[in-house]
Amino acid sequence: MTVSVLGAGAFGTALAVTLAQNGPVTLWARDADQAALMQETGRNERRLPGVNLPRKVAATADISVATEAETILLAMPMQQMRGFLATHADLLRGKTLVACSKGIDLESGQGPTALIAAASPSARGAILTGPSFAADIARGLPTALTLACAEDGEALQRELSTPTLRLYRTTDTTGAELGGALKNVIAIAAGVVIGAGLGDSARAALMTRGFAEMSRIATAMGARAETLSGLSGFGDLVLTCTSVQSRNFRYGRALGAGEDFDTSITVEGVATAKAVSILAQKHIIDMPIATMITALADRQITVSEAVQALLSRPLKEE
Ligand SMILES: NC(=O)C1=CN([C@@H]2O[C@H](COP(=O)(O)OP(=O)(O)OC[C@H]3O[C@@H](n4cnc5c(N)ncnc54)[C@H](OP(=O)(O)O)[C@@H]3O)[C@@H](O)[C@H]2O)C=CC1
Ligand SMILES: O=C(CO)COP(=O)(O)O
């Protein structure tokens, strides 16, 4: 059975590479020139350089071909997903749609599975998330992710697991998608800490308090605490806050050091910090780190003002 991946960025391409171990995969790029180049060269140098695409990966820019598969992975940046789902709603009807994006839609405040349910009520929505860099997956290094699906996730889990990509299953879609979205905000903050020269101890404190902040809002929104402490929450928080492979971490590090950062690079945590600050007000939840990241990204405060504001908060019980 063919699986399709829509979005030929670093992650979509890596997923296509690993899934080709199970059978044919269609990889859809929105840019016809890029699809043709991938098909011709067997590489995606634009988004995942240095990786050979297996022969079982067929690249196309034809969306009607790419949506023939029953199982379709959505691997575009989060802020593009709502528009994409609306444009292609007819072709996606009745399919199994597995979101691979991490974030919260800024305009609606919804995560990927809620966007899928709103745009394609007859589709089955799921989310694949957790600690994994595209380059690691593509190189065949061992990785473990969470597959969250409200119902009948077992067959999908088997279909999307490969000899090197191990999927764990949950029905807690809210927890899985909020963990994956929120860890990016904390990773930016961890990058700021390192970029500003505040040290590894400060980063450990930030990660721990960040995890408390993630858990507070996520459980208030219906997530299970154990999902937050699994691969999609704690696991991905650790990876993204401690690796320079992370774009969110590198963006934060540039902010902390007062350096410029290439705005064409996908950094999901910025929009998510804004979206979650709005949700936090609605749920009356205290989210000082997300609020600070929004203010820093918008240049409303300096790094030293942000640090001062966090350090001067009232002392309280852990
Ligand atoms: N990279 C990683 O290691 C991981 C990424 N993710 C998540 O995967 C998602 C995608 O990230 P990633 O692949 O790294 O991003 P990239 O920046 O590598 O690529 C983004 C891709 O999305 C395409 N795209 C942009 N807008 C649209 C649109 N409107 N319709 C269709 N396609 C579009 C781009 O096309 P074009 O080339 O034409 O601009 C590009 O191929 C993010 O949510 C990220 O958090 C999750 C785990 C790991
Ligand atoms: O989500 C990721 C790793 O799990 C990738 O992180 P970045 O988007 O920060 O590169």
pLDDT (tens digit per residue) in 96-124: 999 999 999 999 999 999 999 999 999 99
d(CA 101, CA 76): 6
Does position 5 have pLDDT exceeding 80, yes or no? yes
Per-residue pLDDT, 278: 95
Per-residue pLDDT, 254: 97
Q: Which distant-in-sequence residues (6+ apart) come within 8 Å of 97 by Cβ? A: 72, 74, 116, 120, 123, 124, 125, 126
What residues does each domain of the chain span?
3-171, 179-311
Mean pLDDT over residues 30-42, rounded? 98
Contact of 3 with 73, CB cutoff 8 Å: yes
Atom of ligand 1 nearest to the CA of 134: 3
Quote the mean pLDDT of the chain: 97
> Which ligand sits nearest to residue 30's alpha carbon?
1
Does position 318 have pLDDT exceeding 90, yes or no? no
Per-residue pLDDT, 21: 97
Q: Domain 179-311: which CATH class?
A: mainly alpha
Does position 1 have pLDDT exceeding 80, yes or no? no
CATH of domain 3-171: 3.40.50.720
Residue 78 Cα to ligand 1 midpoint, Å, equals 8
At which residue do the structure tokens 């995606």 appear?
44
> Which ligand sits nearest to residue 61's alpha carbon?
1
Per-residue pLDDT, 152: 83
ipTM of this predicted complex? 0.99
Mean pLDDT over residues 42-59, rounded? 98
pTM, 2 dp: 0.98
Dihedral sign for Cα atoms in the order 160, 78, 272, 257 = positive
Could you give the residue numbers annotated as active site?
A: 183
Per-residue pLDDT, 312: 84
**Ligand 1 site, CB within 6 A:** 7-12, 30-31, 46-47, 75-78, 80, 84, 100-103, 132-134, 266, 268
As a whole-number percent, the residues of the chain with pLDDT over 70 amount to 100
